[in-house]
C-alpha cells in the first residue's frame, strides 16, 4: 500500500548509480544519497496521471541518450578539448565536494509524488509530471531542510527532444536529438520535402497569425509523436520571411499544412479537415489517401460525389446520376467547377486546393460565386436500386484489387443521405465492406482475401 512521508525525516542512503542509463525509482533517502556525488534529473509523477504515463517512456529515452553519450555531471562530455575558461570554472564549481577533480554520471530517476508528499512539497510540486535538474550544492541546505533557491524546472513540452534540448542548454552538452519541428527556408524547403525516404509534413505559418499561434502547441505535439520515426519529418516555414517559397507552394491560407508522402513528391497533399487536432493530422500523415477521400467527399454538397466519381471514370458516365434525373449538362457543369472553381475559405485567408482540383460545387465567374444546382433531382427515383448499383461497381473494383476506387464509391454512398438511408446503404455489410477497403488502402501489402464477395452480400449488394 502507498504511504506518504509527511512525518519522516529525510535521510541519506548509500547510492550506486546505474551503469546502463536506466531510470532510478527514488525515495527521499536514495534521492539525497544520489545528490551527494551526482547531478540528478528527476521527474515527479503520479500513477493515475495519463500525461505522466505518456512521458515516462520519453524520459527513459532521454536517460539512455545521455548515458550513450557518456555525459558526466560536470556538464561536459569527456574528450572535449575546446572547453573555455568560463566552462572550466563552471565545471570546477559543480564537482562534488568530497571528490574534487572527478566526474560522475548524470543520474535520471522518478519520484512518486503521491507516495512521497513531503518530498514533493519541498520542491513545490503542485502538478505532475514535474521535471527538475538538481545539484546538491546549488539548491538545498541539508542542515536546515530549506532550499536555497527553487530547483531548475523544465517548463517545455514533455517529450524526448525538447527535454534533451533543455538539458543541453543547462549543462552545455551536445547530445543529439532529432528536432521535433524543423525550420525551413526558401533555400532548404525543396530538398527537404523531396526526401524519397520520408513522409514530410510542412506547416506554412506567420508570426502574426492568431490561428497559427493557437495551433502551435498541437503541431509541437504532432512533431513529438513522430520524433522517433525516421520515416516522418515535421517542419514549418515562416511565409513572411520566405514569401517566394510560400508562393511557389501555392499558400493562400494560414496555417496551411501540406504532406509530401514517400512515393508522391509531385506536389503537396493539403490537409483540409475542419477538425485540426493532433489525432486527425497524425491520421492524415499515416494514411493520407483514406483521409483525403473522406475529407473530399465530406466537404462536397449532396450529389457532387456521384458526379465526381463519374467525371473520373470510377463510375460510368450517367450510370448513377441518370437514375436521379441528372443530365450530361449537370456533369459538364460539375467538371467546369472542378476545373475552374474557387478555393474554400481558410482561417486567415482563402484556403487550399483539394486533392482533385478546387472545392467541389463552387465556381467564380465575374467576381460572383455560383453552384451546380440539383433542382432536377427526381424525388421518386429508386435510391435503393442506385445504392445497389454503386456497391456492385465497388465489388468490380475490389475484384481487380483497386481498393482506392472501391473506397471512393463506398464513401460516397455513406455520405449521400438519399443513398445512406437505403437498406443496403445503411447495412452493416456495406460498412464492413467500406472498412475493409480502407484497410487495403492503408496497407497495400494485404493480400487479396476474397472478402469483397462476402462483405456486402452478392455483387449487387444482395444477401443471397
CA distance 122 to 398: 64
34-52 burial, b for 16+ CB within 10 Å, e for fewer? bbbbbbbbbbbbbeebeeb
What's the angle, vertex CA 435, arms to CA 429 and CA 440, rounded to 5?
125
Q: What is the dihedral of CA 136, 140, 141, 146, to 10 degrees?
A: -170
Question: Which three three-digit cell numbers place residue 2?
Answer: 502507498
| pTM of this prediction exceeds 0.85 | no
- Number of separate helices (H) and strands (E) present in the chain: 17, 14
Domains (range + CATH), the chain: 24-171 (3.40.30.10), 182-286 (3.40.30.10), 288-464 (no CATH)
Question: CA 420 → CA 298, 413, 432, distances in Å?
Answer: 13, 6, 14
Query: In DSSP terms, which residues pair with 44 in a beta bridge?
Result: 111, 130
Nearest of 111, 100, 49, 51 to residue 74 by alpha carbon: 100
Contact 245, 186 (CB under 8 A): yes
The length of the chain in residues reads 464
- Each of the 464 residues of the chain gets a pLDDT tens digit; together they read 344 454 455 667 778 888 788 899 999 888 888 888 888 999 999 999 888 988 898 899 899 989 888 876 554 444 333 333 444 444 333 333 334 333 457 899 999 999 999 888 887 888 899 999 987 655 555 555 555 556 788 888 788 888 998 898 888 888 887 778 899 999 999 999 999 999 999 999 999 999 998 898 789 888 888 887 889 999 999 999 999 999 999 998 999 999 998 877 878 888 877 778 888 899 889 888 887 788 778 878 888 899 999 999 999 999 998 888 888 888 888 888 766 643 333 344 433 333 333 333 443 333 333 355 566 677 667 899 999 999 999 999 999 999 999 999 999 999 999 999 999 999 999 999 999 998 888 777 664 444 444 444 444 444 44
Query: Three cell numbers at 87?
Result: 566552462
Q: What is the DSSP string of 391-414?
A: HHHHHHHHHTT-HHHHHHHHHHHH
Phi/psi of residue 356, nearest 5 degrees: -110, 30
Q: Buried b / exposed e across 401-410, counting CB within 10 Å, b at 16+?
A: ebbbbbbbbb
Amino acid at each position: 500500500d502507498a504511504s506518504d512521508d509527511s512525518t519522516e525525516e529525510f535521510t541519506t542512503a548509500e547510492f550506486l548509480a546505474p551503469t546502463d542509463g536506466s531510470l532510478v525509482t527514488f525515495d527521499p533517502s536514495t534521492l539525497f544519497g544520489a545528490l551527494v556525488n551526482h547531478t540528478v534529473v528527476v521527474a515527479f509523477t503520479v500513477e493515475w496521471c495519463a500525461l505522466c504515463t505518456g512521458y515516462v517512456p520519453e524520459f527513459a529515452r532521454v536517460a539512455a541518450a545521455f548515458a550513450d553519450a557518456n555525459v558526466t555531471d560536470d556538464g561536459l562530455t569527456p574528450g572535449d578539448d575546446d572547453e573555455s575558461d568560463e566552462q572550466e570554472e563552471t565545471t570546477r564549481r559543480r564537482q562534488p565536494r568530497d571528490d574534487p577533480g572527478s566526474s560522475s554520471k548524470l543520474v535520471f530517476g522518478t519520484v512518486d509524488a503521491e507516495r512521497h508528499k513531503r518530498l514533493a512539497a519541498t520542491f513545490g510540486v503542485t502538478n505532475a509530471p514535474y521535471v527538475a535538474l538538481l545539484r546538491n550544492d546549488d539548491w538545498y541546505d541539508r542542515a536546515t531542510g530549506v532550499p536555497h533557491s527553487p530547483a531548475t524546472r523544465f517548463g517545455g513540452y514533455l517529450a524526448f527532444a525538447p527535454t534533451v534540448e533543455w538539458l543541453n542548454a543547462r549543462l552545455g552538452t551536445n547530445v543529439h536529438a532529432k528536432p521535433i519541428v524543423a525550420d525551413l527556408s526558401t533555400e532548404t524547403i525543396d530538398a527537404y520535402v523531396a526526401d524519397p525516404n520520408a513522409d514530410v509534413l510542412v506547416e506554412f505559418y506567420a508570426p502574426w497569425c492568431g490561428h497559427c499561434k493557437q495551433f502551435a502547441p498541437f503541431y509541437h505535439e504532432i512533431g513529438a509523436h513522430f520524433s522517433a520515426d525516421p520515416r516522418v519529418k515535421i517542419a514549418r516555414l515562416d511565409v513572411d520571411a520566405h514569401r517566394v517559397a510560400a508562393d511557389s507552394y501555392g499558400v493562400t491560407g494560414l496555417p496551411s499544412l501540406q504532406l509530401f508522402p514517400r512515393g508522391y513528391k509531385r506536389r503537396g497533399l493539403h490537409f483540409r479537415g475542419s477538425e485540426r487536432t493532433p489525432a486527425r493530422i497524425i491520421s492524415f500523415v499515416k494514411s493520407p489517401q483514406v483521409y483525403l477521400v473522406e475529407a473530399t467527399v465530406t466537404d462536397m454538397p449532396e450529389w457532387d460525389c456521384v458526379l465526381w466519381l463519374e467525371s473520373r471514370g470510377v463510375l460510368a458516365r450517367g450510370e448513377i446520376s441518370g437514375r436521379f434525373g441528372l443530365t450530361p449538362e449537370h456533369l459538364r457543369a460539375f467538371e467546369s467547377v472542378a476545373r475552374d472553381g474557387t478555393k474554400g475559405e481558410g482561417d486567415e485567408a482563402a484556403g487550399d486546393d483539394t486533392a482533385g482540383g478546387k472545392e467541389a460545387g463552387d465556381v467564380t465567374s465575374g467576381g460572383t460565386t455560383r453552384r451546380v444546382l440539383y433542382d432536377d433531382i427526381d424525388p421518386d427515383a429508386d435510391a435503393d436500386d442506385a445504392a445497389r448499383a454503386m456497391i456492385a461497381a465497388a465489388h468490380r473494383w475490389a475484384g481487380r484489387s483497386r481498393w482506392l476506387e472501391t473506397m471512393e464509391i463506398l464513401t460516397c454512398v455513406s455520405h449521400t443521405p438519399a443513398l445512406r438511408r437505403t437498406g443496403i446503404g445503411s447495412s452493416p455489410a456495406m460498412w464492413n465492406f467500406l472498412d475493409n477497403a480502407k484497410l487495403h488502402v492503408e496497407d497495400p501489402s494485404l493480400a487479396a482475401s476474397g472478402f469483397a464477395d462476402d462483405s456486402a452480400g452478392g455483387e449487387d449488394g444482395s444477401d443471397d
